[in-house]
């Protein structure tokens, strides 16, 4: 029987799935082998992706094709090459301090990107979403439901933000009560997130069981 590449992939996926599921009976060699394969493949994929999509087109190509490259591309490529070479000094204990410069640059850029994404992509979008679109239209039918929903979303957003505030409030004060309500909204959100993660995990499990079934059918009677 001649197997196609797709069938070989299905069989290997089913075998690795069984290796991972063998952890249910305890830590064993098969499970460790599957995790090592996963880590190795992931590291190889990341390495190839960085070389093919970052290092070669953004550093090597602009420096090799200086005549056709834009000046800004060459400047960026030169800075990236210098920082990359400085990062290699982390392997030398005596000169490891040189590698702190590119690491500090990476941490600063990463923090700035994360802060900008949180401010404009999450907090700003949520704030805009809580604003009623047409709060003064006739309160009948869907308009009534949308108005109530907007009020609930706005109230939940404000109280949840208050639950993260660092202030001293009386235990029976208004701010303390609003913070308690915010923590309730937060608990509901975390519960819904956990439910979504659980549903996604069950979906993946069903897909893996289906893959094992497909692998068994390959060797079954025609």
Read off the pLDDT of residues 165-197 as tens digits, 9 standing for 90 and up. Answer: 655 555 566 777 777 888 888 899 899 999 999
Q: Which two tokens stand for residue 130?
A: 């809580």
Residue 5 main-chain phi, psi, to 5 deg: -65, -35
- 87 closest CA partner among 96, 78, 77: 96
Residue 69 main-chain phi, psi, to 5 deg: -80, 150
- pLDDT per residue as tens digits for the range 109-162: 999 998 888 778 777 776 666 665 555 444 445 556 677 777 787 788 888 887
Residue 67 main-chain phi, psi, to 5 deg: -70, -35
pLDDT of residue 137: 47
């Amino acid at each position: 029987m001649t197997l196609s590449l797709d069938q070989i992939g299905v069989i290997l996926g089913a075998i690795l799935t069984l290796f991972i599921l063998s952890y249910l009976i305890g830590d064993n060699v098969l499970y460790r082998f599957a995790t090592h394969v996963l880590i190795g493949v992931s590291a190889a994929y990341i390495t190839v992706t960085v070389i093919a999509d970052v290092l070669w087109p953004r550093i090597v190509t602009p420096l090799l094709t200086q005549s056709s490259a834009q000046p800004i591309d060459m400047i960026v490529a030169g800075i990236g090459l210098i920082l990359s070479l400085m990062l290699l000094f982390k392997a030398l204990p005596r000169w490891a301090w040189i590698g702190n410069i590119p690491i500090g640059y990476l941490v600063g850029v990463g923090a700035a990107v994360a802060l900008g994404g949180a401010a404009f992509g999450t907090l700003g979008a949520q704030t805009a979403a809580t604003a009623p679109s047409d709060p003064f239209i006739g309160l009948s039918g869907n308009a009534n439901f949308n108005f109530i929903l907007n009020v609930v979303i706005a109230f939940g957003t404000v109280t949840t933000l208050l639950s993260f505030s660092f202030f001293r409030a009386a235990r029976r004060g208004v701010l303390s009560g609003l913070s308690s309500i915010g923590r309730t909204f937060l608990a509901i959100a975390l519960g819904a997130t956990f439910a979504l993660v659980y549903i996604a995990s069950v979906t993946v499990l069903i897909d893996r069981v289906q893959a094992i079934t497909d692998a068994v059918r390959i060797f079954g009677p025609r």
